[in-house]
């Protein structure tokens, strides 16, 4: 475990060893012998369980705040913010610390029922972004789904992210997107958002993003997250080898097709991570 690989990724230093970055808050609750719903109400336990699980899994970074409802409810957001601040203070020397919040398009779709009304939530999203930026995350990551991933990238989307990018730039915090439930055809157009990092989960069919689209996008932004199916370790190993061959020379890290949950087979994941550490470009 070391944040060195993530630092290489953030600095666009393409190295043979790839950073591992997965989302695993429900699993962290299991490792901490408590219910997820209780963990996310207790800032100290949230941060501690996340760090404990990150060490167990030999991850290079910790992602906090992945659940969509955290940004919809002020009380939950306040606890997440305090937990992340605690994580940064106690763990950033060892791990990359990545704050996650619902992306502006998805938040507008969730709260207002229409992603096109994203500007109506401008003040709310800017305030949340500033609050997270003040804690100095290594990346502020926006979780987006169909509201962004199944729509044409146009002025509405670009304007929404430009506003948040301006705020983050003031604090020197890089932004990224974790995109799931997307139409693979839009992947190259994501470069129009002018964000440095984009990580991928499962597409709208539950599958992996096409390699050529990833290659196209990776050539136009600072770095991408290539997803592995952690539910199928044998497939994950093959996927990782394919990525390092097809995306050779490009700045990538490995992420997960979806969040690791309470049903995750820990022994299988530990063996998988050990093997992934030996897969080099």
What pLDDT, on the 0 to 100 scale, is given for residue 174?
98
Task: State pLDDT tens for residues 35-76.
Answer: 999 999 999 999 999 999 999 999 999 999 999 999 999 999
**37, part of any domain:** yes
What pLDDT, on the 0 to 100 scale, is given for residue 1?
58
81: left (phi over 0), alpha (psi -120 to 50) or beta: alpha
pTM over 0.95: yes
Identify the domain containing residue 189 by its residue range. 4-276
How many domains does the structure of the chain reveal? 1
Check whether 2 has a pLDDT greater than 90: no
**281, part of any domain:** no
**174, part of any domain:** yes
- What token pair was written down for 83? 């937990």
d(CA 99, CA 101): 7
DSSP state letters, 66-77: -SGGGGT-HHHH
CATH number for the domain spanning 139: value is: 3.20.20.210
């Amino acid at each position: 475990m070391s944040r060195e690989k993530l630092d290489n990724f953030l600095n666009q230093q393409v190295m043979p060893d790839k950073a591992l970055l997965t989302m695993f808050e429900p699993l962290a609750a299991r490792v901490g012998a408590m219910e997820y719903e209780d963990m996310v109400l207790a800032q100290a336990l949230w941060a501690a369980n996340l760090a404990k699980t990150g060490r167990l899994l030999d991850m290079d970074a910790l992602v906090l705040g992945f659940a969509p409802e955290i940004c919809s409810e002020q009380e939950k957001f306040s606890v997440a913010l305090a937990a992340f601040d605690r994580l940064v203070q106690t763990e950033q020397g060892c791990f990359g610390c990545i704050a996650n919040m619902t992306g502006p398009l998805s938040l507008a779709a969730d709260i207002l029922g229409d992603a096109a009304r994203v500007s109506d939530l401008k003040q709310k999203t800017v305030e949340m972004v500033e609050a997270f930026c003040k804690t100095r995350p290594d990346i502020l990551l926006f979780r987006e789904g169909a509201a962004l991933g199944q729509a044409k990238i146009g002025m509405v989307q670009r304007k929404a992210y430009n506003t948040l990018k301006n705020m983050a730039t003031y604090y020197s915090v890089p932004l990224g997107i974790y995109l799931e439930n997307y139409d693979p055809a839009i992947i190259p157009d994501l470069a129009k958002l002018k964000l440095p990092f984009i990580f991928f989960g499962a597409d709208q069919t539950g599958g992996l993003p096409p390699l050529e689209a990833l290659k196209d996008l990776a050539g136009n932004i600072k770095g991408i997250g290539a997803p592995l199916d952690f539910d199928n370790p044998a497939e994950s190993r093959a996927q990782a080898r394919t990525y390092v061959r097809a995306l050779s020379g490009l700045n990538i890290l490995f992420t997960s097709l979806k969040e690791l949950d309470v049903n995750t087979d820990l022994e299988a994941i530990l063996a998988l991570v050990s093997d992934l550490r030996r897969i080099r470009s």
